């Protein structure tokens, strides 16, 4: 498979952004702590399911203090309809303790500190940095991965880290968050896992004008 050039790859992603210029995060949150927990809970679960669970969860555990003082078993009933809920309850409890002990109860603003927390990987850290703090970062989820492979922006065997590096090389930092948000909606509505309808959007494949720049 021949990969798109840097110019063509940027064109495809910018056209996706143009399709969904007002794309916003689909998880509900009111604080950095709620954002961190919501993104952690969304692993292998839909954002819609997380949004159903978090109002009661955050009412009972509005800050790290309440979650740290509870037991994982106290958290489990609030998220029992989410995938891997027992592990997630334990992560929420443990990371809340660490936020209190290491960061004065505040969510840290660096990737290394975020990834040092239980249950927090690179994708979650990137979402928290970009959505929560406005720090340029690009999170790779299943939608982003599928789109980048389907449109030959990366090779089929590309890892999430390789996809992240490719996209952040192709786009300027100010487009990383808009690209992530738009690609999520594009993946849900157009570039489906089965029977994608991307060919109904010819602008994605019109590269002639690039040669004139």
Q: Are 201 and 18 in contact (CB under 8 A)?
A: no
Please state which CATH number belongs to domain 32-133. Answer: 1.10.340.30
Q: Which of 141, 149, 152, 212 is catalytic?
A: 141
Domain ranges of the chain: 6-24+138-205, 32-133
Q: Are 42 and 79 in contact (CB under 8 A)?
A: no
In whole angstroms, how far apart are CA 67 and each of 74, 89, 121, 148, 191? 9, 9, 20, 38, 38
Q: Which of 28, 123, 149, 165 is catalytic?
A: 123
In whole angstroms, how far apart are CA 31 and each of 28, 38, 82, 107, 184? 10, 10, 21, 9, 22
Q: What pTM was estimated for this model as a whole?
A: 0.92
Q: Is 123 a catalytic residue?
A: yes
Per-residue pLDDT tens digits for 142-188: 999 999 999 999 999 999 999 999 999 999 999 999 999 999 999 99
Question: Which pLDDT belongs to residue 210?
Answer: 73
Do the domains spanning 6-24+138-205 and 32-133 agree at the CATH topology level?
A: no
Q: Are 27 and 177 in contact (CB under 8 A)?
A: no
Per-residue pLDDT tens digits for 20-50: 999 999 999 999 999 999 999 999 899 999 9
For the segment(s) 6-24+138-205, the CATH number from 3.90.76.10, 1.10.1670.10, 3.40.50.720, 1.10.10.10 is 1.10.1670.10
HSE of 206, CA atoms in CB hemisphere, 13 A: 8
The distance in angstroms from the start CA to the end CA of the chain is 26
Question: Which pLDDT belongs to residue 41?
Answer: 97
């Amino acid at each position: 498979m021949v990969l798109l050039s840097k110019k063509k790859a940027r064109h495809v992603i910018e056209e996706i952004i143009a399709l969904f210029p007002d794309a916003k995060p689909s998880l509900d949150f009111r604080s950095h702590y709620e954002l961190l927990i919501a993104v952690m809970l969304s692993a292998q679960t839909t954002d819609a399911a997380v949004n159903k669970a978090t109002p009661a969860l955050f009412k009972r555990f509005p800050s790290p203090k309440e979650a740290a003082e509870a037991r994982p078993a106290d958290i489990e009933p609030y998220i029992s309809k989410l995938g891997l809920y027992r592990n997630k309850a334990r992560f929420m409890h443990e990371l809340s303790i660490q936020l209190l002990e290491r960061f004065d109860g505040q969510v840290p603003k660096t990737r290394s500190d975020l990834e040092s927390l239980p249950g927090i990987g690179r994708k979650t850290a990137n979402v928290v940095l970009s959505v929560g703090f406005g720090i340029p970062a690009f999170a790779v989820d299943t939608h982003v991965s599928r789109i980048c492979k389907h449109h030959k922006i990366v090779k089929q065997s590309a890892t999430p880290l390789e996809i992240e590096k490719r996209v952040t090389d192709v786009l300027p930092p100010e487009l990383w968050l808009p690209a992530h948000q738009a690609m999520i909606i594009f993946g849900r509505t157009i570039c489906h896992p089965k029977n994608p309808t991307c060919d109904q959007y010819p602008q994605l494949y019109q590269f002639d004008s690039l040669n004139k720049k």
